[in-house]
Amino acid sequence: MNSIPDFKMSPILPGAWIGILGSGQLGRMLAIAAKQMGYRVAVFSPDSDTPAGQVADAETTASYEDLDAVRRFAKSVSVVTFEFENVPSATTAAAAEHALVRPDGRVLHITQQRLREKNFLKDQGFPVAPFRAIRSRDDLRVAAAEIGLPAVLKTASFGYDGKGQKMLRAEADLEEGWLGLRGAEGIYEGFIHFEKELSVVGARTVGGEFRAFPVFENSHAHHILDITFAPADITPDLAAQARELARGILDALDVVGLLTVEMFLTRDGRLLVNELAPRTHNSGHLTLDACVTSQFEQQLRAVCGLPLGSTEMKSPSAMANLLGGLWSQGVPDWAAALASDPAVKLHLYGKSEARDGRKMGHLTVTSASVAEAVRKASLARSSLVVSSPG
């Protein structure tokens, strides 16, 4: 049984137990990084035989609302961190009674709800799209009049990969949008005509040390990340602005750990913050093969109070997501993908069931140029599809 260290600045050294709330693929890759550095890993989630649980030293299956189970879990580890942000505030508070929680519950409380997040960013002076809280039909009509159309209507809570979002193009869409909220609180955001979608994964220690990975450029298909490449095709000045914007947000939130800042680059050259994720991020998976330190090792270093690792890229890189639809014709042809180029790396998440839109794994490729890396990643993914018999 461990207790909270007397000094929050004291490093948590290899051999200690790391607790992860959540047990999906991000937790799996974090657990692998922790075990490579000599830590023991315990995961907690409502599910069993999970991607993270398969590689952890211990797996607790219990509801996040089972606070006694959460307390027992926290007593068994030195620090608790996250692989996703939709953990109840009461859960993080219970864990904090017995272990360090990094990032702390305040960071999760802000970032797990879009209105709280956007209000925090706006109040701190960070650039965001115009938005309004939606709690009634009248709120929606007023927002449309003040901000205009087109716009995006989102549920304020529990939205990711495009879930809980609807594009509103004309006044005729307002009623359908309101009904789609099903009584939930919403947020109305002015539509941004963007040039690029970017993300910055930054890490910060308890002492305030900060490092950011190179800016990632992302393309989406059906609201789910499809291809990421780095370095992004932007000017050095814009890249520096994006990293400084991320630094400011991590400092303002007093993050200890990792936080991802998703941004839009507008057609007139401005950066606007879209969303925050207080954890590793899908767009950062290429760091596993392209950077001196992966985002998962960096999260571990940050939450354990160790010096942060180098975020330098060893070469340009691209990542292609592997979604469940690839299994529709049978098991994908892994050998064909790997044969397409010796630089292709395959990462599968250990999920037992392939479903349309479900993230099952990813491919990464490093190459001499970004364009070549993207081409090779796309080619490798296309070679996975098994052709239907005659």
Q: What is the pLDDT of residues 198-245, one digit of tens each?
A: 999 999 999 999 999 999 999 999 889 999 999 999 999 999 999 999
Report how far residue 381's alpha carbon sits from residue 340's, in angstroms, rounded to the nearest whole number: 9
Instruction: Give the tens place of pLDDT for each residue, 337-375.
Output: 999 999 999 999 999 899 999 999 999 999 999 999 999
Ramachandran class of 320: left when φ > 0, alpha when ψ lies in -120 to 50, beta otherwise = beta
Domain covering 17-101, topology? Rossmann fold (3.40.50)
CB 245 within 8 A of CB 257: no
User: Sheet harboring 79-82: ordered strands across?
Assistant: 58-61, 40-45, 17-21, 79-82, 100-101
In the predicted structure, residue 1 carries a pLDDT above the cut 80: no
Place of tokens 């461990």: 2
CB 214 within 8 A of CB 240: no
Contact between 230 and 316 (Cβ < 8 Å): yes
Q: Alpha-carbon distance 173 to 167, whole Å? A: 8
Name which CATH class applies to 194-382: alpha beta
CATH of 130-190, one of 3.40.50.620, 3.30.1490.20, 3.10.450.40, 1.10.1740.10: 3.30.1490.20
Domain ranges for the chain: 17-101, 130-190, 194-382
Instruction: Report, in angstroms and rounded to the nearest whole number, the Rg of the chain calculated over CA atoms.
Output: 21
pLDDT at position 386 is 75
Q: Which whole-number Å values give the CA distances from 18 to 14, 65, 77, 88, in the listed order?
A: 10, 21, 6, 20
